[in-house]
Structure 1
Amino acid sequence: MTDERPEKPLPELRASDADRDRVVERLRDAVAEGRIDMEEFEERLEAAYKSKTYAELEPLTRDLPAPGGAPMAVAAPAPVPAPGDRSWPSRIGGAGLPAGSSPAVAVMSSFQRKGNWTVPARLDAVAFWGGGELDLREANFAQHEVVINCVAIMGGIEITVPPGVEVDVRGFGFMGAFDQRDTPGPVTPGAPRVVVTGFAFWGGVEIKTKPPKRPEPLPGAPNLRKEL
């Protein structure tokens, strides 16, 4: 005789942090596409983080287009690189550091992420009457291609990448701008790809290329220190 327990109905299942993050990502896309306004976005965002079951999460995106595709699989932890190893292979895959996937939000304030941190596969950055700085020069990357979705409303977001990184700017500005100030140099083989999306309204998103502050240049990247 087998002892098989019936599965719980889906609405009764407990939601995980990854489930809540996926709902938040869809809400970020919805506000960027103009499907919901900021007031409704903030209400749904608060409800998403408070949700404990699928039954509480499902209504938050019921009226939004389905993303299509299966839930993201949990990636295996990346090996921790040897101390001092700053080659691109050692920096892609998380490098054993926390992914820091929580949104970067500045509402009449500021945020800053710099130094030795990990850029998640998707990072949402919001500046509303505020400003934010994302410095990727010494960062690790959760995967080879990362997406930074920026929403700048009467505020600004500055993104700094090291030489050799491929940057794809897809953001839209309405009385605002997505501005890539520096001319991208040659892409270093094996370097990550950074896709910048979102929208700017009476605000701006600026993408700059600067060499890292470390004394040694990144592997394969041009050494620009002598030119500064």
Structure 2
Amino acid sequence: MTDNAPELRASDADRERVAEILRDALAEGRLDMEEFEERLEATYTARTYGELAPITRDLPAPGGVPQAPVNLVKEPLPEGSWTGQVIGGGDASPSWAVAVMAGFQRKGRWTVPRRMNCVAFWGGGEIDLREADFSAGEVQINCVAIMGGLQVIVPPGVEIVSKGIGIMGDFSHRESGVPAGPGAPRVVITGFAFWGGVDIERKRTKAALRQEKLDRREERRRLKEERRGDRREEREGRRMLEGHRDSVHDLLGESHRRGERHPRE
């Protein structure tokens, strides 16, 4: 297990360790039953460490130490932040990716070299830059698709310059020209598609989508708690009003009885 491999498969023991943290959090009141059930379901359906890590990120492990699954993966940066992802050198992934009547993937946490060549011949390939580090502020990806397809996935904020051409095929340019975010890298995509296609698509990171989902759940939980609080206050107000009304009736009844015992002369 390495610190930069969120794509590694999780074991049953890893899932059970996360489930134990959730049970402790439920017992301590850190989670309500609805949150516990949702997270437990996500735990037992998780396949990789990258999917397990967000489930207990906001919970302490037994004994107050950080839970193991979080330490096994390199934390993804907040969406729109590029601090530390343009590393300006260092080890990079292989500069070639070839699929001949087959397929390849470059995804997860990996380092994009300054120049990368991707070829798909009667096959397909996926180059996912959403969690990647970049060896330079500007990288070039040369894509050649011959009777095959290549997909380049980029996160929001990255500047894309598409210079490829399509010959009886399609080379995507729809994401080209979007201004870069502060400190974001520039990705130049060249090459050609012959009886094939090179698709460039901009997507948010899985971590950002999961966080958005958790935020929506938290907002629903907060609104539910506010409604419960409003109903409690309304019930308490009615009880106070009824108690005040009963007290007034009692006083009026007592006054009426005293008037009967001591009639006015």
Residue 116 of structure 1: which of 109, 129, 136 is its match? Answer: 109
**How far, CA to CA, are the matches of 2:98 and 2:82 in structure 1?**
28
2: distance between equivalents of 1:91 and 1:143? 9
- CA 1:88/1:183 → structure 2, altered by over 3 Å: closer, same or farther? same
In 1, the alpha carbon distance for the partners of 2:180 and 2:208 equals 21
Q: 2:164 aligns with which of 171, 175, 186?
A: 171
Q: State the shift of 1:179 in Å.
A: 1.3
Contact 1:104 1:126 in 2 (8 A): yes
| Secondary structure of the corresponding residue to residue 198 of structure 1 | strand
Equivalent residue, structure 2, for 1:146: 139
Higher strand share: 1
Structure holding more helix per residue: 2
Structure 1: gaps spanning 5 or more residues = 1-82, 218-222
Q: 1:54-113, CA deviations, whole angstroms, 9 ceiling, x for partnerless residues?
A: xxxxxxxxxxxxxxxxxxxxxxxxxxxxx63734130012686x3013310000000001
Q: List gaps (5 residues or longer) in structure 2.
A: 1-73, 216-265
SS in structure 2 at match of 1:215:
helix
Equivalent residue, structure 2, for 1:46: none
2:87 corresponds to 1:93: yes
Which has more radius of gyration?
Answer: 2
Contact 2:108 2:131 in 1 (8 A): yes
Rounded to whole Å, the distance in 2 between the matches of 1:88 and 1:95 is: 15
Question: Residue type of the partner of 2:75?
Answer: G
8 Å CA contact retained: 1:161, 1:210: yes
What do residues 135-162 of structure 1 show as CA deviations (whole Å, max 9, x unaligned)?
0000000000000001100000000000
Identity of paired residues, percent?
57
Corresponding letter in the other structure for 2:169: G
Matched, 1:132 2:140: no
CA distance in 1: counterparts of 2:184 and 2:203, whole angstroms = 15
Pairing 1:1-228 to 2, within 5 Å after superposition: 84=75, 86=77, 87-93=81-87, 98-181=91-174, 186-215=179-208
State the TM-score, normalizing by the size of structure 2: 0.47
Runs of 4+ in structure 1 displaced over 3 angstroms? 180-186
How many residue pairs end up in the alignment?
Answer: 139
Q: Per-residue displacement from partner, 1:151-207 (whole Å, max 9, x unpaired)? A: 100000000000000000000111111114558755211100000001110011000
